[in-house]
Amino acid sequence: MRPTRTLLCAFFLTTLLGCKVWHVQVYKTEALGLSRFGNVYTYENDTLGINYSFWADGGNMRFQIYNKSSKPIYIDWKKSNYISNSYKWDYWSDKTQSTTLFTSFGRSFYYKDSIQFPRIVGYSSVSAALSTGSTVTEKQERITFIPPRSYIVRYVNYKLMTDYYHFVDGDRNFTRETQLLNETSKDSTKVIIKRFEKDNTPLDFRNFLTLSFKEDFSSEFYLDNEFFINEVLVMDSRHFSYFKLDKNTNEPSEIFPYKKGTDFYKRIN
């Protein structure tokens, strides 16, 4: 059977949830050889500790590297990579990036009506358009220096999933379940779940790092932390998140009952 691009709403959810305009896939992950503490995966040895989290639309790898030792550690980003289903993506590029920053004076606006779907209903003062601009030129840092007993944080520029997971016509290897929205919730929702092992997962991804205690990298060591999707959950978007008015700022904020740093999601319409 060939994969279909027909939305899951038309294929699976019609009888289960009814055809909704919005739905969400939540991707649960498993790490190989790492521990899970709360909302992060953790790798640790005598020299360093690394924490990982992925929660974002499409998934984004964020990792924190802590130097536990009494000596500096160096990371060579040219020799380090994000690897997705065996394809190598570079962390470093020998290019100069230019960014233009503008100071502007323009319209300020205010919202009214629904918290979920605010709309602009008016403008206040209107003045001149762009006034000044400046260009900042930057070159990526190839070697990162981490002093003893300190840490750095890195965000990977690549999305873990650029497209949602496509079920295959005729595939019935999934389950329908009713789940609590989170560990402390009394509310539940109906979800479709498909589970995977490492040999049939739709996504296997790795963080490969080259490190050294010497700045000239005459002596190197390597870390290769690996993860894969072990569950795909499909649910009504209304059960995935909702908006709540913040009591302190009086601004709407989105609440995610399913939020967990070791997982990520993708919205589909």
- Which pTM was predicted? 0.73
State the DSSP code for 77. Answer: G
Dihedral, CA atoms, 226, 228, 230, 233, nearest 10 degrees?
A: 130
Cα 70 to Cα 75: distance, rounded to the nearest angstrom: 16
Give the pairing type, strands 188-195 and 175-180. antiparallel
State the DSSP code for 166. Answer: P
Give the CA angle between residues 109, 130, 134 to the nearest 5°. Answer: 125
Cα 85 to Cα 64: distance, rounded to the nearest angstrom: 23
Of the candidates 191, 114, 222, 205, the one whose C-alpha atom is nearest the C-alpha of residue 162 is: 205
Beta bridge partners of 34: none
H or E stretch covering 237: helix 237-240
pLDDT digits (tens), the chain, 269 positions: 333 333 344 344 444 444 444 789 999 999 999 999 989 999 999 999 999 999 999 999 999 999 999 999 999 999 999 999 999 999 998 877 655 555 444 443 333 333 333 333 333 344 444 445 566 667 789 999 999 999 999 999 999 999 989 876 556 666 676 665 555 555 667 788 999 999 999 999 999 999 999 999 999 999 999 999 999 998 888 778 878 888 888 888 888 888 899 999 999 86
